[in-house]
Amino acid sequence: MGLFKPAWKSRNFYKREKAVAKLDDQAILSDIAKNDPALRVREVAIQKLTNTAVLRDIIQTGQVGYVVEAARNRLEIIEEPLRAQQEKQLLDAVKHTDDQEELFKMLAQARLIDTKMEILEKINDQQILVKAVAERHSIGARYQRFYETAVGKITDPEFQMKLLCDYGDICDDATVRKILDEMDDRKKILHILRNAKSYEIRHTALDKIKDEQELMQTLDELKKEMGTVRSNTNGEYPVRHLQEEIVKKINDPQLLQNIAFFGTKAARLAAIDKIDNEDVLYAIATQMKDETTRRWAIKKIKNQENLSKLLYSEQDVDKQKELADRIRDVSLLREIVHGNAGEAARKVAAKRLLLHNDVGQQEKDNLVEYILSQFGVMALFTVVPEEQYAQYGLRKDVFTHEMHDQWGPYDETTVDYYYNGERVRQSDRE
């Protein structure tokens, strides 16, 4: 055993770097390229490697991008002369064949974009052209010229449809619109709308469909489709977005009504947005089991009688208050105040009457007395508008105090309530 270890094993990476630069032993260089702790030393070893198998192994298994890139660059330098010879042989072979499948195989073998373009010029088979477009990943940054040429040669509507449905993620907007603008077969356009893997292409196809029955059929088809559709720009879009866009194009009242009752949730809500028939909206609000759908319909109802009926059937207190607050009809408000509606709704209705221009002062005074007798003095502070407090002997004194706790200082607001000069409640926190 020797007394001295070789310099390429030195603890000093500068010494290792210089030593490695002088090495020729491929086995040692391979070990250093894969395992040396210093990236610069590994790079120097890679620059000395001639074994392409080792370089490919580093590219496939390397954990550090810097090292992988160094191995990739070295492999390209080694193979460049061979690649040039291969490209020349490939071009010679292209001149002597018109076999479309063979040309496609050659397309995959070609490394240079100019070679690929030469091969593409001889390919006319529509199916092969679609496959060629799909192989775009092998073309890299120079893809656009190849892509535009290949797509331009696909003229058969059947294969144009296949291109848009299966490879829509590689089709730019101009290509999609050109194909769809020139496509006369409505069935093919509908097929693209219902089956394309790209959200943008389906949306563009939707622009071409005007017939509402066809749109309805498409909506029914999409009921079976759940989840998301791939977007070329934003990752994924929920299918419901497409359903909503379809509904926006439908104007037939009967079709919209059918969607509101029997469509998917997204379609139902979009349909309700377009329905103005009060009877239909009321039917949806009272017959549908889905709470969101019901709420959506209720928001659109303007008919005062219907709002009043909904109020009496509503169990949720907050929703009762919302409905009462939307009623402006004086007679209906009176019925609510003096009827068997919930307390919260009666208070809201009373406040509406006190604000109403068609209600006389005497009635307002009587209403305040009625609320006082029914619900007590504190109810007046929620029913009487603040600008009318003084008129009915009401006053609120608001105080802000600086407080302290373990987290430091903070402000606390309290309220004292007065009726006819007497304090009726002290220091409620706001």
Please give the Cα distance from 354 to 346 (Å, whole number): 12
Per-residue pLDDT band for 366 (boundaries 50, 70, 90) equals very high
CB atoms within 10 A of CB 259: 26
Contact 124, 153 (CB under 8 A): yes
Please give the Cα distance from 162 to 156 (Å, whole number): 10
Residue with tokens 């290509």: 175
Question: What's the sign of the alpha-carbon dihedral 424, 425, 427, 429?
Answer: negative
Please give the Cα distance from 44 to 13 (Å, whole number): 12
pLDDT at 137: 47
CB atoms within 10 A of CB 324: 27
Instruction: Decide: helix, strand or coil at residue 208.
Output: coil
Per-residue pLDDT band for 141 (boundaries 50, 70, 90) equals very low
Q: CA 361, 362, 363, 369: dihedral to nearest 10 degrees?
A: 110
240-273 pLDDT, tens digit each: 888 999 999 999 999 999 999 999 999 999 999 9
The strand pairing partners of 409, in sequence order, are: 404
Q: Would you say residue 140 has pLDDT above 90?
A: no
Per-residue pLDDT band for 226 (boundaries 50, 70, 90) equals low
pLDDT at 168: 73
The percentage of the chain sitting over the pLDDT mark of 90, rounded to a whole number, equals 48
Q: Would you say residue 356 has pLDDT above 50?
A: yes
The percentage of the chain sitting over the pLDDT mark of 70, rounded to a whole number, equals 93
Contact 107, 132 (CB under 8 A): yes
pLDDT at 402: 82
Contact 161, 171 (CB under 8 A): no
Average pLDDT over residues 142-165: 84
71-89 pLDDT, tens digit each: 888 888 876 766 677 788 8
Average pLDDT over residues 219-238: 75
* CA 180-185-186 angle, 5° bins: 85
pLDDT at 6: 87
Between 428 and 325, whose confidence is greater? 325
How many helices and strands in the chain, by DSSP H and E? Answer: 25, 5
Please give the Cα distance from 261 to 422 (Å, whole number): 57
Question: What's the sign of the alpha-carbon dihedral 309, 315, 317, 318?
Answer: negative
The strand pairing partners of 418, in sequence order, are: 395, 423
Average pLDDT over residues 162-191: 84
Please give the Cα distance from 258 to 348 (Å, whole number): 36
Q: Which of 20-24, 325-329, 387-391 has the lowest mean pLDDT?
A: 20-24
Please give the Cα distance from 113 to 140 (Å, whole number): 9
Is pTM beyond 0.85 here?
no
CB atoms within 10 A of CB 423: 12
Q: Would you say residue 5 has pLDDT above 50?
A: yes
* C-alpha distances in Å from residue 12, one per residue of 8, 80, 324: 9, 35, 84
Q: What b/e sequence results for 351-366 when a residue is b if at least 16 CB atoms lie within 10 Å of its CB, and e otherwise?
A: bbbbeeeebeeeebee
Between 399 and 269, whose confidence is greater? 269
Per-residue pLDDT band for 378 (boundaries 50, 70, 90) equals very high
Please give the Cα distance from 154 to 150 (Å, whole number): 7
Q: Which of 19-33, 54-68, 124-138, 334-348 has the lowest mean pLDDT?
A: 124-138
318-335 pLDDT, tens digit each: 999 999 999 999 999 999
Contact 181, 148 (CB under 8 A): no
Distance from CA of residue 169 to its chain's centroid?
16
Residue 423 phi/psi, 5-degree rounding, is -75, 125
Per-residue pLDDT band for 313 (boundaries 50, 70, 90) equals very high
Q: With CA atoms as reference, report the closest residue to 52 among 60, 44, 41.
A: 60
Contact 422, 409 (CB under 8 A): no
Between 79 and 401, whose confidence is greater? 401
Q: Which of 2-6, 64-68, 302-306 has the lowest mean pLDDT?
A: 2-6
